[in-house]
Amino acid sequence: MKKTSIQLVLGLAIITGAYPTLAATVTMEQLIRAWGLNPLAYEPFDYEAGVGLDGNCNGGYGFSEAWVPNLPSGGSLSNQLITAGSLYYTDAYGNTVMGIGNKVHITGDGTEAGDNTGGARANAQPRRALSFQRGNENDSTWVAFLAVRTGLPYLYTDGAGNEIYYGRATSVQLFQGANSERLTIGRASQNGEPTNTTPKDTWALINRGSPAYTSPTPVPLTNVPPNSTANLIIVRIDHQAGDDRINAPDTAYIWINPENIFNLPTENALAISFAGSGERDYWFDTIRLFAGNYNTTVGYGSADIDEIIIAVPEPTTLALFAICAAAALHWQRKRS
């Protein structure tokens, strides 16, 4: 369905009052456009199942290069494997956002003792450079994707007696260049967190890759909503111009599994507002996926990830939704 058609259908649904009862299946790209956002980069992982995420994977748009395997010493492409089938999330009204290709499975243990992908006990850390930079202006950036934490549970009990079963780092990360981690969506290794950072084993935002700067949500990493195969993760970053990380810090917000996917998330439905600790400047130009290698303290990281998209507000579309909302209000007043 074309962008204009989606907007008109949703607009008419709002005006007639049928909006909450219509069930639809859309791609992540269509959903983002329905929110009034303009996609800048989109990675649907529409690659052949069974291949490792490497320089031959150059799909989607908004990137300046193909995936860089970024294998550590002893690493394996089988730790970052394209697997068959798309992830999807279905909301409370039966609306579904679904991938268009396959998905990527990342793991820190691809041996028979772990996820048995034919890989090794080593980090999965592929990265891909964007064709643009975000974070130097007073504006917002939206990041969304489908994901679920996988892998075998591994009990770790911290100093406060908290039992942790998925303690090794697993995440989608925003980087400046190849080495500067800015904002992490997922979870850092929890044995590095303060013991009062709770709840454990949940989705979180992490500032600059430091477990000490973790802001957790209540949603379990392994959560799979009804009639779904993954969680819909939505992040908005409000940037402050320049690079003053202390006096003009950026702020990130995260929403997970909205009740109605067609409602653009607002602060009123916030899962968590991440002011965070320390300096915050979420200037980024690269995305990286990460699953930590097995260790004897917290096990290994592992996840299925799909449909990564980065977008910005589109004024013309927002104006259309404002008109629809005004029309709906007018229609309701005429009925009363």
Of 57-61, 204-208, 252-256, 328-332, the range with the lowest mean pLDDT is: 328-332
- Strand partners of residue 52: 81
More confident residue, 57 or 315: 57
With cut-offs at 50, 70 and 90, classify the pLDDT of residue 319. Answer: very low
Of 207-216, 239-248, 320-329, the range with the lowest mean pLDDT is: 320-329
* Structural domains of the chain, ranges and CATH numbers in brackets: 25-311 (2.60.120)
Residue-by-residue DSSP string for 172-198: EEEEETTTEEEEEEEE--GGGS-TTS-
- Predicted structure pTM score: 0.87
* 103-153 pLDDT per residue, tens: 999 999 999 999 999 999 999 999 999 999 998 888 999 999 999 999 999
Task: Round to whole Å and give the CA distance between 260 and 7.
Answer: 16
Please give the share of the chain, as a percent, with pLDDT higher than 70.
83
Q: What is the mean pLDDT of residues 257-265?
A: 94
What pLDDT does residue 291 have?
99
- Sign of torsion, CA 177 179 181 184? positive
With cut-offs at 50, 70 and 90, classify the pLDDT of residue 268. Answer: low
Of 86-90, 157-161, 242-246, 253-257, the range with the lowest mean pLDDT is: 242-246
With cut-offs at 50, 70 and 90, classify the pLDDT of residue 325. Answer: very low
Specify the amino acid at residue 266. T
Report yes or no: 35 and 59 within 8 Å, Cβ to Cβ: no
